[in-house]
């Protein structure tokens, strides 16, 4: 059996590596139009940082895992084609700011229709609006070949940073297909791949539309929990309750459960906001305005949380950060990834730059060019941002040196192990720490002399 995946990104890249690793009898080829990305996949410097990924790629690359820019051959050779190209939020025309932009998915379908010379199973890996499989099928069926196509939905639930673990030990695998004999046969073919390492009872099969919708709904529910606990963090700060204690107390209720109750500076990542906006757009398109409004609140609460954090920094620093140095600890949207898409760090940094702060940013994995391009707004050639500036620091100590404040925006493990006495001595006084991830021991930091602020914590007077 031969598999091809179109799109070797954060989802396609690791997913294909794990399939190749678990199924030595299957030839897996990940193709991408981005030649630089493919060259990186074929080098020692993979384009994506994901714990455990490099080790797997090194074991199977060149044996049964290949990365290539030759999309045509990839399509022609494969029995099964996974489509894992972006479906970003539209930034133009009808549905601007809400609907998913399906141009890449449609382009893939047209490419497959043109290149295919034998029967294929097409698997939607990309997160798509409900009934996208219909669009793909229409395009494929209109092609002037006698080739038969089956379109399946097999959404990916991996989270970045734990992607390899999630792929190897998923809570479930979901495969949706047409309720015809050929559709069900295709579902079983794809199920048999996952069954090489995943127990059968975790491989769920549904109809196409349930599978497509379940992915949007899973992300909406997860994001909703974060917005819910973040809304409560604001109330905790006002009342003297501690959001960590509240989360622990409610999480012990087995009906609620303890996961995804970590209050933060806001959720980021390429999926949550995009998928909720997509869900909202779908609801609006079907005339369900109350449902749309309900889910839209999850996104607006997240926006509120991000801006609340930057406003707090400005307030505590005597209502001005103009010309003050602020050390930013972490820029990725969460730890253990180099991904910055929709990272709360981007929003907080932009707010602070608007207030004319001088930022010294340190992230252990995000390349400096990425940080600068995320903040490019009106950056001048000399790294100035109007009256503000951005410096990319070598490490956390260098970022903090001479700073008025530190803002922790990503929960990288290394930030909890730093020598904060040393950091305190190197900073301007009074020295502030704003912990946007509730990672640090605030009581200890206060003893050292820091002015501290934690999300959802109202600290008693010393
Ligand atoms: C993507 C989708 O964004 C997401 O909706 C879906 O759930 C999974 O696939 P991700 O892998 O994180 O997520 O995206 P990205 O890292 O941007 O990778 C997509 C890759 O597709 C890029 O490398 C891009 O070059 C490639 N691509 C894009 C193609 O090969 N062909 C295209 O026509 C468009
Ligand atoms: C998410 C889903 O978890 C995954 O199933 C789906 O396939 C893609 O979208 P991802 O975006 O990679 O995965 O990371 P996730 O761990 O879900 O975190 C998303 C954001 O929420 C991060 O910014 C994270 O820091 C934040 N978060 C998460 C919180 O603020 N609090 C929490 O309790 C959990």
For 70-81, the pLDDT digits (tens) are 999 999 999 999
> What percent of the chain lies above the pLDDT cut of 90?
93
Question: Among the atoms of ligand 2, which is closest to the Cα of residue 127?
Answer: 7
Q: In the prediction, which pLDDT does 460 show?
A: 67
Distance of CA 328 from the midpoint of ligand 2 (Å) = 21
| Overall size of the chain counted in residues | 462
- Per-residue model confidence (pLDDT) at position 383: 60
Is the CB of residue 10 below 6 angstroms from any atom belonging to ligand 1? yes
The gap from C-alpha 361 to its chain's centroid, in whole angstroms, comes to 20
183 CB near ligand 1 (under 6 Å): no
- Asked if pLDDT for residue 144 goes beyond 80, the answer is no
Atom of ligand 1 nearest to the CA of 155: 7
Candidate from 159, 259, 344 with most ligand 2 atoms within 8 A of CB, to mutate: 159
Q: Is 8 in the pocket of ligand 1 (CB under 6 A)?
A: yes
CA of 86, nearest ligand number = 1
Ligand 2 pocket check: which of 174, 250, 267 to mutate, most ligand atoms within 8 Å of Cβ?
Answer: 267
Q: How much is the average pLDDT of 204-226?
A: 97
Tell me if the pTM is above 0.85. Answer: yes
Q: Give the chain's largest Cα–Cα span.
A: 78
Confirm or reject: Cβ of 350 under 6 Å from ligand 1.
no
- In this predicted structure, the answer to whether residue 379 has a pLDDT above a threshold of 70 is no
Mean pLDDT for the stretch of residues 451-458: 94
The residues that are catalytic are 271
Q: Is the CB of 140 under 6 A from ligand 1?
A: no
* Residue whose CB lies within 8 A of the most ligand 1 atoms, among 85, 104, 105, 136, for a mutation test: 85
**pLDDT at residue 382, as a whole number:** 66
Å from CA of 271 to ligand 2 middle = 8
Tens of pLDDT along 335-366?
999 999 999 999 999 999 999 999 999 999 99
Is the CB of 81 within 6 Å of ligand 1? no
Percent of the chain with pLDDT over 70: 98
HEC letters along the chain: CEEEEECCCCCHHHHHHHHHHHCCCCEEEEECCCHHHHHHHCCCCCCCCCCCHHHHHHHHECCCEEEECCHHHHHHHCCEEEECCCCCECCCCCCCCCCECCHHHHHHHHHHHHHCCCCEEEEECCCCCCCHHHHHHHHHHCCCCCCCEEEEECCCCCCCCCHHHHHHCCCCEEEEECCCHHHHHHHHHHHHHHCCCCCHHHEEEEEHHHHHHHHHHHHHHHHHHHHHHHHHHHHHHHHCCCHHHHHHHHHCCCCCCCCCCCCCCCCCCCCHHHHHHHHHHHHHHCCCHHHHHHHHHHHHHHHHHHHHHHHHHHHHCCCCCCCCEEEEECCCCCCCCCCCCCCHHHHHHHHHHHCCCEEEEECCCCCHHHHHHHCCCCECCCCEECCEEEEECCCHHHHHCCCCEEEECCCCHHHHHCCHHHHHHHCCCCCEEEECCCCCCHHHHHHHCCEEEECCCCCCCC
pLDDT for residue 19: 98
**Model confidence band, residue 384 (pLDDT cutoffs 50, 70, 90):** low
Indicate the pLDDT class of residue 145, thresholds 50, 70 and 90: confident
Report how far residue 263's alpha carbon sits from residue 438's, in angstroms, rounded to the nearest whole number. Answer: 8
Atom of ligand 1 lying closest to residue 108 CA: 33
Question: Which is the closest atom of ligand 2 to the Cα of 269?
Answer: 11
Ligand 2 atom at minimum distance from 342 CA:
23
Which ligand is closest in space to the CA of residue 330? 2
Query: pLDDT tens digit string along 207-217?
Result: 999 999 999 99
How far does residue 6's CA lie from ligand 1's centre (Å)?
Answer: 8
Average of per-residue pLDDT across 369-383:
80
Q: What is the mean pLDDT of residues 387-393?
A: 92
Model confidence at 378, pLDDT cuts 50, 70, 90, reads low
Q: Which residue has the CA at smallest separation from atom 5 of ligand 2?
A: 157
- Of the candidates 346, 333, 416, the one whose C-alpha atom is nearest the C-alpha of residue 377 is 346
- Name the pLDDT band for 459 (thresholds 50, 70, 90): confident
Distance from the alpha carbon of residue 7 to the mean position of ligand 1, in angstroms: 5
| Residue nearest (by alpha carbon) to ligand 1 atom 15 | 9
The ligand that comes nearest to the alpha carbon of residue 262 is 2
What is the mean pLDDT of the segment spanning 367-373? 95
Q: Which ligand is nearest to the CA of 129?
A: 1
Ligand 1 lined by 437 (C-beta under 6 Å): no
Q: Which atom of ligand 2 lies closest to the CA of 339?
A: 12
């Amino acid at each position: 059996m031969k598999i091809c995946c179109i799109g070797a990104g954060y989802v396609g890249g690791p997913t294909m590596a794990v399939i190749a690793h678990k199924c030595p009898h299957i030839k897996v080829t990940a193709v991408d139009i981005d030649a630089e990305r493919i060259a990186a996949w074929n080098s020692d410097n993979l384009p994506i940082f994901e714990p455990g990924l490099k080790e797997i790629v090194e074991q199977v690359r060149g044996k049964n895992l290949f990365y290539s820019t030759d999309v045509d051959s990839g399509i022609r050779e494969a029995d099964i084609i996974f489509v894992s190209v972006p479906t970003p939020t539209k930034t133009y025309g009808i549905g601007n700011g809400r609907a998913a932009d399906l141009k890449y998915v449609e382009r893939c379908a047209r490419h497959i229709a043109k290149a295919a010379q034998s029967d294929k199973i097409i698997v939607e890996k990309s997160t798509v609006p409900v009934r996208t499989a219909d669009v793909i099928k229409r395009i494929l069926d209109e092609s002037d070949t006698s080739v038969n196509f089956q379109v399946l939905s097999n959404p990916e639930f991996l989270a970045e940073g734990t992607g390899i673990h999630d792929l190897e030990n998923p809570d479930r695998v979901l495969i949706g297909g047409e309720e015809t004999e050929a559709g069900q046969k295709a579902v079983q073919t794809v199920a048999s791949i996952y069954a090489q390492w995943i127990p059968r009872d975790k491989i769920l099969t549904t109809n196409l539309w349930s599978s497509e919708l379940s992915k949007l709904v899973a992300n909406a529910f997860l994001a909703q929990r974060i917005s819910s606990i973040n809304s409560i963090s604001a109330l905790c700060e006002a009342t003297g309750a501690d959001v960590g204690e509240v989360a622990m107390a409610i999480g012990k209720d087995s009906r609620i459960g303890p996961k995804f109750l970590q209050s933060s500076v806001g959720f980021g990542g390429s999926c949550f906001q995009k998928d909720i906006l997509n869900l909202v757009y779908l609801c609006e398109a079907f005339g369900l305005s109350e449902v749309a409004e309900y889910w839209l609140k999850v996104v607006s609460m997240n926006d509120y949380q991000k801006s609340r954090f930057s406003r707090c920094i400005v307030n505590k620093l005597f209502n001005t950060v103009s010309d003050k140095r602020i050390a930013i600890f972490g820029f990725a949207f969460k730890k253990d990834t180099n991904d910055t898409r929709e990272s709360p760090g981007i929003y907080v940094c932009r707010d602070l730059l608007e207030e004319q702060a001088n930022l010294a940013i340190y992230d252990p994995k995000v390349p400096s060019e990425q940080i600068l391009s995320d903040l490019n707004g009106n950056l001048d050639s000399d790294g100035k941002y109007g009256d503000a500036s951005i410096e990319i620091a070598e490490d956390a100590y260098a970022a903090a040196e001479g700073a008025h404040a530190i803002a922790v925006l990503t929960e990288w493990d290394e930030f909890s192990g730093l020598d904060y006495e040393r950091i305190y001595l190197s900073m301007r006084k009074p020295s502030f720490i704003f912990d946007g991830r509730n990672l640090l021991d605030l009581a200890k930091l206060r003893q050292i002399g820091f002015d501290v602020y934690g999300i959802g914590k109202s600290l008693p007077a010393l």
